[in-house]
Amino acid sequence: MLYFAYGSNLDAENWALWCENKGYDPASIEALGPAWLPDHELVFHYQSRLRRGGALDARPRHGTAIPGALFRVHDWEGLDAKEGVSGGYYRRIAVTALTADGRAHSATTYRVCDERITRFVAPGPEYREMVTRGLSRFGHGDDGFVAAAGGGSAPPAPAAIFTYGTLMSGERRHDLLATRVRRAHGSAHVVGASLIHIDWYPGLVLSDGGPVHGELYELEDITATLEELDSYEDFSGYDDESSLYRRSLVSAVTTGGSILAWTYIYLGDTDAFPLIPSGRWTGA
């Protein structure tokens, strides 16, 4: 079973010390690597006596993603104890976590129980330090955490989208992006994927092939754009198995380096359509 961590449990030092003091095995969770919780943001609206200030929670927010990490759990007892499950402080919830290879992972995370939610509570310096250290451990920045710690909300991130079909420049639905572009990075590609020809549109599928070629755009209002694109791409949410595409995260490679971006991955029957060997869509 997988666990998505976004707060103090990202910090190996804090986890090991807590396990030592409470008699739990720190090896009961095994770090797998960085991941993101889509359509959620960080918030401080819970007073923790243990932390002498606010402790993090994850609440829904369309179009942004919380950075964190995935862990393999060998025994939930220690995690549940640390999160105060039996005392009604946090509760387990099922989520979908994303990794930068385009994949989605069924996981569990913890959310503050409704009766514990209050107004904004600033975190103490020790808690801020351990979460920042944990984020750095997995290669994440702390912009969203810093904004939440100050009582605000960070701009949605990532703010970029990788397009590979009808949304590209010159294609039939580029109008959905054209007026919202903050910066056009131009040509980009992703690896570990292939392109199939479905009809008047293509589909990106995860594979050992690639690369898939496309374009990368940073957008002014990623939240509003994704609301429209989700409808266009027939994506109904991470808990809806009827979606034709899934909004995922990929590492898009440009001449200036790699950028984390949203894209849409085809979920239908891939065997029914021909492969596009070049990985490049040129229109139907």
- Per-residue pLDDT in tens (0 to 9) along the chain, 284 residues: 899 999 999 999 999 999 999 999 999 999 999 999 999 999 999 999 888 899 999 999 999 999 999 999 999 999 999 999 999 999 999 999 999 999 999 999 999 999 999 999 999 999 999 999 999 999 999 999 999 999 999 899 999 999 999 999 999 999 999 999 999 999 999 999 999 999 999 999 999 877 999 999 999 999 999 999 999 999 999 999 899 999 999 999 999 899 999 999 999 888 889 999 999 998 76
Give the residue numbers spanning the domain of 75: 2-149
Closest CA to 116 of 93, 92, 88: 88
Domain membership flag for residue 179: yes
Domain membership flag for residue 280: no
Q: Count of alpha carbons within 13 Å of 204, Cβ hemisphere only?
A: 31
Residue type, 159: A
Decide if 189 contacts 215 (C-beta within 8 A): no
Q: Are residues 23 and 145 in the same domain?
A: yes
Number of folded domains that form the chain: 2
User: SS3 helix, strand, coil % of the chain, rounded to 5?
Assistant: 25, 40, 40
> What's 245's domain CATH number?
3.10.490.10
Domain membership flag for residue 277: no
Strands 245-254 and 104-112: unpaired
Q: Are residues 56 and 98 in the same domain?
A: yes
Burial class (CB in 10 A: 0-12, 13-18, 19+), 170: exposed
Q: Which string of b and e fits 129-155 if b means at least 16 CB within 10 Å?
A: ebbbbbbeebebebebbebbbeeeebe
